[in-house]
A and B are shown apart, each in its own frame.
Chain A
Amino acid sequence: MATDTQPDSIPDERTKDGFLALDYEQTQRVKGIGFHALLWSLIAIVLFPVFWMLVVSLNQTGFESFIGDPVGWVAGVDLSGYRQVWYQSDFRYWFRNSLIVSVGATILSVGVCTFGAYSIGRLRYRGRTAVATFLLITQMFPAILLAIPLFLVFRDFGLFNTLTGLVIAYVAFTLPFAIWMLRGFYENLPESLEEAAMIDGSTRFGAVVRVVLPLSAPAIATTAIFTWVLAWNEFVFALVLINDSSRKTLPPGMAEWIGQYALNWDMLMAGALGATIPMLIVFFLLQSYIVKGLAEGVGKS
């Protein structure tokens, strides 16, 4: 923090008689400007790659020519990159498949993990700590180690090269993280709620469905977002378990462009942005959930 090298916030003789002869308020203002300049230029650097993705997707150019002649860049803007993505590749199938697989896996995974997380987070029984530890340990399994046998099993059971198979793999792949995220929420939920419902004669299951689930809707939504992002990004299983181009999801599909369209940067960037759009929509609609989830669910475990 560059601003902190200046004298600290106590107005004293030093600041008044110093080299710039600033009084307390002026010092504060200079510090404020310095802080904002630093922060926003760092943000600009962080966001630059995304900005550049947009620029090149609209009109392929180099950095120096862009800076040297921005007007020329604007004049040359067209959608040929996007047209190429849509008409000359299987992007539209990959996009659809990615949506099917991610949404399907998210719904199933969240349905299953809600009960698992409730069980580990709330109920008291022998073995629950062991299960919690086991979940953490599954995170230490290399995905590629599981992918080889999974490929063999799926081939034997006719699940190879099907989206159903991929959904099944993704449910298991996302479960431990989802349970881990939700667990903390149930640990902190007041217990009197389901107890009241159970005194009124419902079973544990009834109490969970009627009382606990509605209350945990925001936490479940957060978990769903993270599960969805994991599934949208997944590469190894998608690469190993799908063969036909028309059944691929976005990541392995687009990876093949590298060999085929190495020089069509406008097309590559148009595709890269296209794959980002669903994530951006989720991101801007649900950002408060995401920020909370990242800060609390992941951090505190």
Chain B
Amino acid sequence: MATTTDKLRNFELPREYYHWFSKESVWGWLFLLPSLLALGLVSVYPLFRGIYLSFFEYDGIADPEFVGLEHYVTILGWTEFWVVMRNTLVWAFAAVVVMALIGLGFAVLLNRDFRGRSVATTLLLLPWAVPFISIALNWRLMYNFELGPLNGFLRMTGITEGLPWIASSRYALFSIMLAWVWRNFPFFMLTFLAGMKGIPGDLYEAARVDGSTKLDQFRHITMPFLQPIAVVMTLLMSLWTLNHFTLIYVMTGGGPGNTSMVLPVYIYERAFHLSEMGLASAIAVVMLIVMMTYGLIYLRLYREDVGGK
């Protein structure tokens, strides 16, 4: 809808509308001023100061000492850094794929008429209403070896004596991922559901007359319609996941032995526990490059879906 109106506007307007000092332009920038000011002070300025800082040795107290690219050379030759980087990418990629699939499954279930539908939707949305810190504590208990329900259930069925979950190097990252998926699949569920409601019913009608199966209908009608929504949601969710801090910091702190360590937590530890602010900034700049590259490639590939012009 928005894109058609935009196209009309762009074609029918006289040139003077786009003049820098037209009335509309002046109001436009005036209305934007407070937002840009706030973002400039708390987002853009710190960004550049952070990049600047990455070329210095700085403990937060003594005078910063210029070291050039030394930090970057150090990081890139560091096995630990690459382990953390790999964890971060694995965690973001796997989490988003799993939550998109679960969200899609629930959207399919909810996309029909039945009694109690709105109650079901509300209840499934509930994880979203639990703050991260509560989720982190709650799932620490879920995974607790003795008191935790997961191991309790496993022991009752007699499968094992219980798994170490977040305490083991093997399952830690996976366990945190499960909690993160639990919190975020409703996002996908709701947006997919809204998308499915927008699909004209006669398309399915026609497909049924042609004798195609439900799976075919899903693949050739539902999926293409949902693609634009999926694109926007995956982009946002991947960026949020890459940036996420609370669950990992509180559930494992990155352990055991860095097996669940991701970049945000790692950078925090370096900067504020080890007082290596310059080095930490350099790692953060590498993280920035990764996120920007990912984000911009994504935007370029799917420019139309994201609504750019």
Task: Tell me if B256 is interfacial: C-beta within 8 Å of chain A.
Answer: no
Task: Tell me if B62 is interfacial: C-beta within 8 Å of chain A.
Answer: no
Knowing A53-B134, A141-B47, the reply to whether A116 touches B20 (Cβ < 8 A) is: no
Contacts of A233 in B (CB 8 A): 131-133, 246
Task: Tell me if B82 is interfacial: C-beta within 8 Å of chain A.
Answer: no
Question: What separation, in Å, do the CA atoms of A127 and B33 have in the docked complex?
Answer: 13
Nearest-Cβ distance from residue A193 to partner chain B, whole angstroms? 15
The main secondary structure of chain B at its interface with chain A is: helix
Task: Tell me if A148 is interfacial: C-beta within 8 Å of chain B.
Answer: yes
Task: Tell me if B155 is interfacial: C-beta within 8 Å of chain A.
Answer: yes
Question: What separation, in Å, do the CA atoms of A166 and B210 have in the docked complex?
Answer: 60
Once the chains bind, are A145 and B47 in contact (CB under 8 Å)?
A: yes
Question: What separation, in Å, do the CA atoms of A43 and B139 have in the docked complex?
Answer: 17
Once the chains bind, are B42 and A169 in contact (CB under 8 Å)?
A: yes
Task: Tell me if A82 is interfacial: C-beta within 8 Å of chain B.
Answer: no
Once the chains bind, are B129 and A119 in contact (CB under 8 Å)?
A: no
Once the chains bind, are B126 and A50 in contact (CB under 8 Å)?
A: yes
User: How many Cβ-Cβ contacts under 8 Å join chain A to chain B?
Assistant: 329
Nearest-Cβ distance from residue B59 to partner chain A, whole angstroms? 12
Contacts of A48 in B (CB 8 A): 149
Which residue of A128, A276, A301 is within 8 Å of B131 (Cβ)? A276
Contacts of B272 in A (CB 8 A): 151, 240
Once the chains bind, are B137 and A115 in contact (CB under 8 Å)?
A: no
Question: What separation, in Å, do the CA atoms of A27 and B280 have in the docked complex?
Answer: 63
Task: Tell me if A46 is interfacial: C-beta within 8 Å of chain B.
Answer: yes
- Count of chain B residues with a beta carbon within 8 Å of a chain A beta carbon: 115
> Restricting to A30-50, which residues have a CB under 8 Å from any CB of B?
32, 35-36, 38-40, 42-43, 46-50
Question: What separation, in Å, do the CA atoms of A258 and B142 have in the docked complex?
Answer: 15
Once the chains bind, are B308 and A129 in contact (CB under 8 Å)?
A: yes
> Restricting to A62-88, which residues have a CB under 8 Å from any CB of B?
62-64, 67
Contacts of A124 in B (CB 8 A): 9, 13, 17-18, 24, 28
Task: Tell me if A4 is interfacial: C-beta within 8 Å of chain B.
Answer: yes
Contacts of A143 in B (CB 8 A): 243, 245, 264
Question: What separation, in Å, do the CA atoms of A51 and B146 have in the docked complex?
Answer: 18
Q: Which of A14-22, A215-223, A288-296 contacts its partner?
A: A288-296
Knowing A116-B32, A129-B309, the reply to whether A148 touches B280 (Cβ < 8 A) is: yes
> Restricting to B229-265, which residues have a CB under 8 Å from any CB of A?
229, 232-233, 236, 239, 242-243, 245-246, 249-250, 263-264
Task: Tell me if B152 is interfacial: C-beta within 8 Å of chain A.
Answer: yes
Contacts of A36 in B (CB 8 A): 114
Once the chains bind, are B141 and A141 in contact (CB under 8 Å)?
A: no
Task: Tell me if A107 is interfacial: C-beta within 8 Å of chain B.
Answer: no
Nearest-Cβ distance from residue A288 to partner chain B, whole angstroms? 9
Question: What separation, in Å, do the CA atoms of A152 and B186 have in the docked complex?
Answer: 38
Once the chains bind, are A204 and B125 in contact (CB under 8 Å)?
A: no
Interfacial residues, chain B to chain A (CB-CB below 8 A): 1-2, 5-6, 9, 13, 17-20, 22-25, 27-29, 31-32, 34-36, 38-39, 41-47, 49-50, 53, 60, 106, 108-109, 114, 120-142, 144, 146-149, 151-153, 155-156, 182, 186-187, 190-191, 193-195, 214, 229, 232-233, 236, 239, 242-243, 245-246, 249-250, 263-264, 267-268, 271-272, 277, 280-281, 284-285, 287-288, 291-292, 294-296, 299, 306-309
Closest 5 CB pairs of A and B: A63-B152, A172-B42, A295-B194, A299-B191, A125-B25
Interfacial residues, chain A to chain B (CB-CB below 8 A): 1, 4, 8, 32, 35-36, 38-40, 42-43, 46-50, 52-53, 56, 60-64, 67, 112-113, 115-116, 118-120, 123-129, 131-133, 136-153, 168-169, 171-173, 175-176, 179, 184, 187-188, 204-205, 208, 232-233, 235-236, 239-240, 250-251, 254-255, 257-258, 265, 268-269, 271-273, 275-276, 279-280, 282-283, 287, 290-291, 294-296, 298-301
Q: Could you give 22 example pairs across A and B, Cβ below 8 Å? A: A56-B141, A62-B147, A119-B31, A123-B31, A125-B18, A126-B19, A129-B308, A144-B284, A145-B287, A146-B46, A150-B42, A175-B35, A188-B2, A235-B132, A254-B133, A279-B129, A283-B126, A283-B129, A294-B190, A298-B232, A299-B190, A299-B191
